[in-house]
Amino acid sequence: MEIRAAVTEEEGGAFEVQTLELEEPDANEVVVRVVGAGVCHTDMIVRDQEYPSPLPIVLGHEGSGVVESVGSAVSTVEPGDRVVMSFDSDGTCRHCREGHPAYCEDFFAHNFGGLRPDGTSPLSRDGEPVHGRFFGQSSFATHAMATERNVVPVDDDVPLELLGPLGCGVQTGAGGVINTLDPQAGSTIAVFGAGSVGLSAVMAADLKGCTDVVSIDLKRNRLEKAAELGATATVNPEAVDDVVAAVREATGGAVDYAVETTGVAAVAQQAIDSLTQRGTVGIIGAPPLGTEASFDVNDLILNGRTVTGIVEGDSTPTEFIPDLIELYRQGKFPFDELVTYYDFEEIEQAVADSESGETIKPVLRVSEP
């Protein structure tokens, strides 16, 4: 079938909306008519080849929509179902079997390889393949080819176009706090970066009962939003001489937990330095492959500090995404306040507004719910 999709042709190139051909689904695949698609920092670092997915490619990995057709082996969804598309995994490795699909042994190939496991793509143009399995979906398109493993059925009482960011950015920030750090009520936390991931972490920290939640960012509009969503203090690094000292002053001491979402190595060091004894920092922000950071080994040893990496909030999407939706229904997790909508054809503007910080979470409206 013919679809419209935003194709990235070259490193640093534009997202060009073109007509492509989408194949019929294989046995375990699901064709989804895309209603909404979030724009994420990961799309941009792949566009810029900081993570080397093959080109040309259709990016987009925060899709929501309606199932149009399914492969012969699919049993959990059927045409007409409303779904959120999340990350992909093999489902067979030890980490997947133990309930940690975000740490799938074949995660990179399934999510950044752009192809099915057999090396084919469901998308083509003039008979030539276009990589169309980014995060098992490539949802910058009117239709996406997902897998049964990475679609999450959702109810019809929440706006479908809103839900795509739950598939990556929102679940990453919220899950990083709820699933990985698991702070106890009364604890303190600093969240470095106030984009959609960082602000989701702020909301999650508030849900968990953290009494001091510090948000650190360079953008005033984002810090203001953080204060609305549960941050008890905010820090703009350009307005202080010492970020770590400012965090400690805001909390009356070092923090129990920190979350680093910027992907900047120097900021990761600030996050570590903000910790109290036996504190833990979760590293979420993704810098270019090969980025290294240094730390004082004795500082970690003598203070009992922990540094842990976090992928996709260590979540099982079929369980965690419905939980976040229920929290949203109850007014406890208002992630809709992060979202600004754009028409699909405005994708370049959405990306520019995201990169400038003007928009926290752009979501493309691709079709009617």
* Local structure of residue 241 (DSSP, 8 states): S
Average pLDDT over residues 261-270: 95
Q: What single-letter amino acid sits at 313?
A: G
> Does the pLDDT at position 331 exceed 90?
yes
pLDDT score of 294: 86
Range of the domain at 341: 2-167+334-365
Quick one: 273 and 338 in the same domain?
Answer: no
**In this structure, is residue 51 part of a structural domain?**
yes
CATH number at residue 140: 3.90.180.10
**In this structure, is residue 293 part of a structural domain?**
yes
**In this structure, is residue 287 part of a structural domain?**
yes
Quick one: 95 and 140 in the same domain?
Answer: yes
Confidence (pTM): 0.96
- Give the span between the Cα atoms of 34 and 163, in whole angstroms: 11
In 3D, which of 87, 6, 106, 10 has the Cα closest to residue 49? 10
Quick one: 65 and 51 in the same domain?
Answer: yes
Quick one: 95 and 214 in the same domain?
Answer: no
pLDDT score of 152: 98
pLDDT digits (tens, 9 = 90+) for 193-226: 999 999 999 999 999 999 999 999 999 999 999 9
Quick one: 45 and 177 in the same domain?
Answer: no
- Give the span between the Cα atoms of 52 and 45, in whole angstroms: 9
**In this structure, is residue 327 part of a structural domain?**
no
- Give the span between the Cα atoms of 230 and 200, in whole angstroms: 10
> Does the pLDDT at position 90 exceed 90?
yes
Quick one: 93 and 61 in the same domain?
Answer: yes
Exposure b/e, 52-64, CB count within 10 A at least 16 = b: ebebbbbbbbbbb
Q: Based on the structure, what is the number of domains in the chain?
A: 2
- Give the span between the Cα atoms of 174 and 176, in whole angstroms: 5
C-alpha separations of 97 from 36, 84, 176, 178, 217 in Å: 30, 22, 20, 21, 38
Residue position matching structure tokens 């950044």: 112
The H or E element containing residue 15 is strand 15-22
Average pLDDT over residues 155-183: 97
Average pLDDT over residues 112-135: 96
**In this structure, is residue 72 part of a structural domain?**
yes
**In this structure, is residue 325 part of a structural domain?**
no
**In this structure, is residue 145 part of a structural domain?**
yes
**In this structure, is residue 80 part of a structural domain?**
yes
Quick one: 124 and 54 in the same domain?
Answer: yes
Average pLDDT over residues 93-107: 97
Quick one: 65 and 208 in the same domain?
Answer: no
- Give the span between the Cα atoms of 49 and 11, in whole angstroms: 6
Quick one: 158 and 178 in the same domain?
Answer: no
pLDDT score of 293: 87
pLDDT score of 295: 86
Quick one: 194 and 142 in the same domain?
Answer: no
Higher pLDDT, 256 or 287: 256
Average pLDDT over residues 140-145: 98
Quick one: 181 and 135 in the same domain?
Answer: no
Say if residues 131 and 146 touch (Cβ distance below 8 Å). no
Quick one: 199 and 133 in the same domain?
Answer: no
CATH number at residue 281: 3.40.50.720
pLDDT score of 202: 98
Residue 250 banded pLDDT, cuts 50, 70, 90: very high
